[in-house]
Each structure stands twice: as C-alpha cells, then as structure tokens.
Amino acid sequence: MTTSWTKSLCLAAVLGTAFSAQATELNVEELTTGLSHPWGMAFLPDGKMVITERAGNIRIFDKTAGLSAPLKNVPEVAAVNQGGLLGITADPDFANNQTIYFCYSKPGEGGSSSSVSKAKIAGDSLTDVETIFSASPLVDNGFHFGCRVAFDNEGHLFITLGDRYKYMKEAQNTDNHLGTVVRIWPDGSVPEDNPFTKGDAPQVYSYGHRNVQGLTVHPQTGEVWAMEHGPKGGDEVNLLGKGNNYGWPLITYGIDYSGDIISDKTEMEGMEQPVVYWDPSIAPSGMVFYSGDKFPEWKGDLLVGSLKFTHLRHIDMEGGKPGEQTEYLRDRNERIRDVIEGPDGYLYLLTDTPEGKLLKVSPE
C-alpha cells in the first residue's frame, strides 16, 4: 500500500517552522495484526522484536515465524485506563545476557505506580524477573504513567514518568517521582552525579513534566530527547538536561480540557522552553531520530507518532533546531503509538487499537 503526505491541520509552534508538501511517498507493509493495544517495541540483535500489549503481554515477533504467544511469567499489571504494560527496551549487551527492561503500572496497596522490571528471555518465558524501580508515591488512578525506557550511550537507563493527572503541582517537587524523568543504572542503583541525590527521590534527572510518552537518544550527539502530552494544546519535544525544570504546570502552552486557564505564563526564569510544541495537541507518542540510509534525505531528522491525528510526522532538523514538518499515513486513520528505526534502516510503527498492527515503512 502506498500512502502519500498530508499537509498538517495543526500549528507547530517553533521559531521559523512552517509546513511543506513533500513529494516522497511511503510504502506500508503490515507485518502482523491482532495485537491488543500494542504500546512499545524493541529490536533484538538477531532481528526479532519484543512487543508489549497494554493488557499485560510481551510477545516476540519473528519475520519467519510470525507473532509468538504471550511470554509466561510476566508480572501482574494494573491495566486500567492508560495503565498496563507499556515501554520496553533491550539491554545493550542483550546478545550475552538476554535481558530486557519494561515499564508498567504496578499494582500496590492504595494504588499503582510506574515501575520497571528487568528479566531474561528464556524460550517462551521470562526468568530472573526483578523490579529495579518503582515511582513514589502510589496513586489511585489510571492516568499519566509515562513509561518509555531507553539506554543512553553511557549505560544509564532513562525512564519517563507522568504527573498522574490530578497531581500536576507535584511535578515541581523533586522529592517524589511525579512528573519527572529518572535516570538509574541497570541494577536500579542511583548514579552519583544525579542532580538530586540528597533528596527523597534521588533517581530524578529532570522535572516539570506532564506525561512523557516519547524518549530517544540522538544517534550522533548522544543527547537524550523526550516528548510529552500537554493538556488541551501544549504537547512538547524537549532536549533533556540534568536537573532542568521544564515548567509544568507553572508554564504551559495549553489550557485545561474544560477551557480553564492552568497558567497564564508560557515562560519563567529558570524553566526550559520546548524545542517544539503543538497547539492544538497532536497527542504524540513514540519518537526517533533517523540515522539510516533508506531515507537519506531524512538523516538526522525526527519522526514522531500522532495518536489524535493518526499520522507519522516528519520534522526536519538542522543543528538541533526544527524546520518544516510533514504528515504521512493520515489516510490510514490509525493511531500511531510507537515509532522506531530498524537495524535495516526502515521505520517500524505500532498502531494502538484492539486489533493493533506492526507496520514496516519504506520509501516508495
């Protein structure tokens, strides 16, 4: 199937940014269907993929054997509203240790928390399952878990979190994990140079976030980038910095769903500005900087998924600054939940529906 570009209908508010029509068309191959609200995926060194389903499953996709049954021995998840089994990544040394890391809403007394476990894949089951991080405090609702996970080039594990919706003010409190991005070592220990090691949440790396559902490491610079849902307007792409405050909810480019003003400020001293923000919201989820050779004109550019407007968005990036943006695949009318680049240089997408799909995207 060939799908062409669609000019954007929403405003991407960045300096010097405009939308443009690009002539390139995309080929889309449906690799597998019947995934129940797939949320995250990662390639393994042998070319297989691990894929999470929000209800609580981890599956393996093999281009030859197809989609596996759910792996056994996956921890219990609180699959309520936005909660469930969410982000996943493979250990950088997976070829030797067969270890994966996954983020999920873990049930506990009085609520649930965004937690990360590590485990080894052994045949059709997980073994040596160990929880290495749980966000504090537990909250009794099913919203704003964040839960993307990624390794940086130094071997730190980054975990994105959310403000759990009704606790937005806590995103300014570095003594808990609400509305933060945390950084730990793979065994769960805290890096000595984390910015808040003397506080009650020493894992915190940055704060002032709302609901971070995009996370990627730039393949050339090693910088860690994150993308978060705003309220009604104000979705953001941010370049993360140690100890930085990204402002939520004291500054925002969005308003409450009711139309009420959350803050009348979009800037404050000591708070970071987004590299990109969208108003109205596109509900972004999943992001990757392209580094392959299959789309040579996209090298170094940012690709993100949109849930609300059902498209893959290409953002031209020059020197870390955004330029023109273009939507692709919108005519498929599928919520794009995750976007990654495969080792073959093609793009792979997950569509978030009860009958979700794994898509392979290549140039026409």
Catalytic residue among 144, 209, 311, 314: 144
Contacts of 345 (CB under 8 A, 6+ apart): 292, 293, 294, 295
Token pair, residue 236, equals 């953001």
The residue type found at 104 is Y
Would the pLDDT of 217 be above 60?
yes
CA dihedral 25, 212, 156, 361 (to 10 degrees): -10
Q: What is the pTM of this model?
A: 0.95
67: phi then psi, degrees, rounded to nearest 5: -90, 130
Give 267-301 pLDDT, tens digit per residue.
999 999 999 999 999 999 999 999 999 999 999 99
Mean pLDDT of the 147-154 span: 98
Reduce the DSSP state of residue 352 to 3 states and report it: coil
Give 133-149 pLDDT, tens digit per residue.
999 999 999 999 999 99
Answer yes or no: 314 catalytic. no
Give 25-42 pLDDT, tens digit per residue.
899 999 999 999 999 999
Give 56-79 pLDDT, tens digit per residue.
999 999 999 999 999 999 999 999
Would the pLDDT of 336 be above 90?
yes
Would the pLDDT of 20 be above 60?
no
Would the pLDDT of 18 be above 70?
no
The 10 Å Cβ neighbour count of residue 198 is 7
Would the pLDDT of 364 be above 90?
no
Would the pLDDT of 3 be above 50?
no
Q: Got the DSSP string for 190-232? A: PPTT-TTTTSS-TTEEEE--SBEEEEEE-TTT--EEEEE--SB
| Closest-CA residue to 247 (of 274, 227, 224) | 274
As assigned by CATH, the class of the 2-363 domain is mainly beta
Average of per-residue pLDDT values in the chain: 94
**pLDDT number for residue 274:** 98
The band of 319, judged by pLDDT with boundaries at 50, 70 and 90, is confident
The band of 321, judged by pLDDT with boundaries at 50, 70 and 90, is very high
The band of 24, judged by pLDDT with boundaries at 50, 70 and 90, is low
Give 95-111 pLDDT, tens digit per residue.
999 999 999 999 999 99
**pLDDT number for residue 320:** 87
Would the pLDDT of 10 be above 90?
no
**pLDDT number for residue 12:** 53
